[in-house]
Structures are given as C-alpha cells and as structure tokens.
C-alpha cells in the first residue's frame, strides 16, 4: 500500500476573499491529513497561502481590480438576482479563458488530484480528463439543477417550474463558457463537446461535486445525481501572529455588545451614502457598532462606532449582539457558527438565497437589498434582531450544531477514494 505522504493535491480557487479563504482552510486540513497541498489562486492571496505552510501557484487576474472596474461596478449595481448573475457570467468569459490556461499550465507540472472551485470546475474537469488526473468540484453555493427550489432571484415555481428554470439558467451559464471551453479543449488537443454530453459523462462517472455548506442550512436536494454531497462548511484559518487591534479590544470592553456591519469584498460608487445610512441606522436603533471597511473603504468616526479592517470573524462575531452583512456565503457561515442573529443586505448573485435561508432558520428578522436600504428599514431590523430573544435563542442553537460539524472530513475521504481508484 502506498503512503499518502507526498501525494499532491492541487486546489484551484478564484473569486473574491470569501471565494478563496475557505479553500486555504481546507488545504490546511488536507495537509494535516498527510497530503502535499498546493493552492492555485490570485497573487492577492499568496501571503495567506504560504503563511499556512501550503504551496502557492499563481493564477492570472486581480479580483479587487475587476470589482472596481466599470463592468464590475455595473454588475454589483444590478442587484442580487438572476439578471445580475448572468451579467457576471458574461463579464467573466474572457477571464475564465485566462484562468483555464493558467490552471492547465500548473496542472501540467504535476498533481495527483485536482480540487476545483466554482467557475474553475468546468474547465478543470476537462483538464483533469485530458491529463489523467482525478478531480472533484467544490462549491460554496448550490448550482446543481433541482426541482426542490428555484434559482436565485426567482420565486418558488413548483417542481416542474423550478427544474425548467434551472435548466434555462444552466444553459445560459454554460453558454457563456462555451467559447472558453472550446478554446481549452483545442489547446488540449481534444474535439469540441456539448455540455449535455459532459453532464451525462459526469453523471455516469458519479463525478464528485461537494458543497461546502451545512445540510442544516441548505439540505441536499432530493433529485441531485449520485456523487453530489453536502459536506458542511469549510472554515478559513486564522493568520498566524495576527492579533485583533487593541482599539477594537478596548471598544468591545467599554460597553454593551455592538452590532457588526460589513459588506466584505464588495465595491461601491456611493460609499459615502452607504456610510451615512449605516451611521443613521445605528443611532436610530440605539446600539453601538463595528463597521468593517472592506474593499469599499467604508469609514465612520463616532464615539459609539469603530471602523476596522480585516478581523477574524470567528473571534469577533461571538462577542456581538447581531451581524449585518452582505450575505456572502463565507460571512453567512461565520455568523451562523457564532450563534448571533443576522440581517442580510444582499448585493449580488447568491446572497439573496442565503438571506432566505437565514430567515427560514429563524435567526434573522428579515433582509433588505442594498439598493433599497434606508436608515429606517435597517434600524427597524437591528432593533428586532437585538431585542427579540427568539432570534437569539434560535441562532445559538443553530450555532452549536454547525460548530459540531466537520465539513472537511468528507473532502478528505473523497481525495483518498480518488487516489485509490486512479
């Protein structure tokens, strides 16, 4: 029997902070299980990869620059629905071509298993098949068609309607990648292939598609194909040697638990307006606040509000009265594990989906899209989140359950099986 030590797992992750850092944490778990682990991602995250003792491989692109581009800002202003998602896919087509070429060059240097996140999974599947490297897809949000619920941005349409809507969305999404995939297959010396053929092949092979969220938050759909699994969350790891800002520690000690407000890796043209809304809402609600500046560069100077940069959510969130955030998959997960009530302010893509799940779980009094945010609406939601004990009790219960889950273990088992069957 061969030893696992030295068997090389290559994780490919692209996107903003919340799309990448969970895979660095997953890489640490795989390394601790005895594998050699490389993470292929943007140069922006090179330091975070290397400081965890993982190997870094550069992919082309700068997600922060893309977010702040005219196209990126227009996409984010489109809202958290289907139209915005399709706009994103069109915007990303050329970048995906570059990512596929970059990933191919890295994979050709040698790997025993490919773990492919998000929109790298389609091109990565073809690369793995061509190079004879077993692979699996890793996603942070549901993208597999189902009749159980509709795509993001659409109302419940019944089983047939949900399935039909998903089919349309998948067709549009894969259509946006058709040209990059055709170019990639030509580079691999392979003939063109239809997405339907690829889907049939993946179903027949039970190609692993693992979802890194809790089954308590979004259960496995009843009609997903074999090979699709909901594992539990993949958690980021704290950066070594980083300590919370002393000013923040003092602020937390100086009064009642504050409310967190942050929009993560989102960029806005009107940051000053959003800052003004947040300031007014916190005052109306009569609560102290912690504002995360994020990529938007938000900033509030006030005795009852402190502005912070990067702070570990697993340290900060349990000390808060509630969290107000954009409902990205990673921030949503951190809030759920912390066991505190949450308010979603969705901006784009899957964020409205996570808002609906938080409300269904009973930890959130509601959400409001960023484009409809007002001081009155936000203040009302903050008051309900901080004063209604039902939300706090439910959040604490959910937090205990999620903290006990081990989402990395099924990934480790899948990697071992792929190596065994290779």
Per-residue model confidence as pLDDT tens digits over 64-113: 666 666 666 665 555 545 566 666 666 777 788 899 999 999 999 999 99
What is the structure's pLDDT at 222? Answer: 94
What is the structure's pLDDT at 375? Answer: 94
Low-confidence ranges of the chain (pLDDT < 50): 1-4, 80
What is the structure's pLDDT at 398? Answer: 96
What is the structure's pLDDT at 221? Answer: 94
Q: SS3 of 181, please?
A: helix
- Residues 227, 210: Cα–Cα separation, whole Å: 8
First to last CA, the chain: 14
What is the structure's pLDDT at 371? Answer: 82
Q: SS3 of 317, please?
A: helix
Helices 82-107 and 121-131, axial angle in degrees (round to 10): 30
Classify domain 246-403 by CATH number.
3.40.50.2000
What is the structure's pLDDT at 4? Answer: 47
What is the structure's pLDDT at 27? Answer: 97
Architecture of domain 8-62+93-234+407-421: 3-Layer(aba) Sandwich (3.40)
Those residues whose C-beta lies under 8 Å from the C-beta of residue 70, and which sit 6 or more positions away, are none
Q: How far is CA 301 from the centre of its chain?
A: 30
Residue showing tokens 């092979």: 205
Q: Which residues of 126-161 are buried (b: 16+ CB within 10 A; e: fewer)?
A: bbbbbeebbbbbbbbbbbbbbbbbbbbbbeebeeee
- Please, where in the chain does CATH 3.40.50.2000 lie? 8-62+93-234+407-421, 246-403
What is the structure's pLDDT at 1? Answer: 29
Q: SS3 of 269, please?
A: coil
What tens digit of pLDDT does each residue of 254-302 get? 999 999 998 876 656 667 788 888 999 999 999 999 998 876 677 777 7
Token pair of 254 as six digits: 């100086």
Give yes or no for a contact between 366 and 356, defined as CB atoms under 8 angstroms apart: no
| Edge-to-edge order in the sheet of strand 209-211 | 55-58, 36-41, 8-12, 113-117, 135-139, 209-211, 228-230
Give yes or no for a contact between 68 and 267, defined as CB atoms under 8 angstroms apart: yes
What is the structure's pLDDT at 67? Answer: 66
């Amino acid at each position: 029997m061969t030893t696992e030590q030295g068997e090389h797992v290559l994780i490919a992750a692209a996107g903003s902070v919340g799309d990448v850092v969970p895979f660095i944490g997953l890489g640490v778990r795989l390394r601790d299980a005895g594998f050699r682990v490389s993470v292929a991602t943007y140069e922006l995250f090179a330091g975070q990869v290397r400081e965890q003792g993982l190997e870094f491989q550069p992919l082309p692109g700068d997600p922060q620059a893309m977010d702040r581009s005219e196209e990126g800002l227009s996409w984010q202003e489109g809202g958290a629905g289907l139209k915005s998602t399709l706009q994103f896919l069109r915007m990303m087509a050329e970048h995906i071509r570059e990512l596929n070429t970059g990933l191919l060059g890295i994979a050709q240097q040698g790997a025993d298993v490919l773990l492919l996140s998000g929109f790298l999974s389609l091109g990565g599947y073809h690369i793995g098949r061509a190079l004879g490297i077993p692979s699996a897809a890793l996603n942070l949000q549901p993208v597999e068609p189902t009749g159980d619920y509709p795509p993001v941005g659409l109302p419940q349409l019944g089983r047939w309607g949900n399935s039909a809507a998903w089919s349309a969305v998948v067709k549009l999404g894969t259509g946006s990648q058709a040209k990059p995939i055709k170019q990639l297959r030509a580079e691999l010396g392979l003939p063109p292939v239809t997405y339907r053929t690829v889907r049939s092949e993946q179903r027949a092979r039970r190609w692993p598609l693992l979802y890194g969220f809790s089954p308590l938050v979004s259960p496995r759909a009843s009609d997903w194909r074999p090979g699709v699994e909901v594992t539990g969350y993949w958690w980021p790891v704290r950066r070594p040697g980083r300590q919370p800002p002393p000013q923040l520690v003092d602020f937390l000690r100086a009064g009642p638990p504050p409310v967190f407000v942050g929009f993560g890796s989102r960029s806005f043209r009107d940051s000053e307006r959003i800052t003004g809304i947040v300031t007014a809402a916190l005052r109306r609600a009569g609560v102290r606040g912690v504002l995360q500046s994020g990529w938007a560069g938000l900033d509030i100077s006030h005795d009852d509000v402190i502005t912070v940069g990067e702070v570990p959510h697993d340290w900060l969130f349990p000390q808060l009265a509630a969290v107000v955030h954009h409902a990205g998959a990673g921030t949503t997960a951190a809030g759920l594990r912390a066991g505190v009530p949450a308010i979603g302010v969705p901006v784009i893509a899957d964020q409205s989906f996570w808002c609906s799940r938080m409300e269904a779980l009973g930890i959130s009094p509601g959400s409001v899209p960023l484009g409809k945010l007002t001081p009155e609406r936000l203040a009302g939601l903050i008051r309900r989140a901080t004063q209604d004990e039902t939300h706090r009790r439910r959040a604490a219960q959910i937090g205990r359950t999620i903290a006990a889950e081990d989402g990395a273990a099924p990934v480790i088992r899948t990697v071992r099986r792929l190596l065994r069957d290779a």
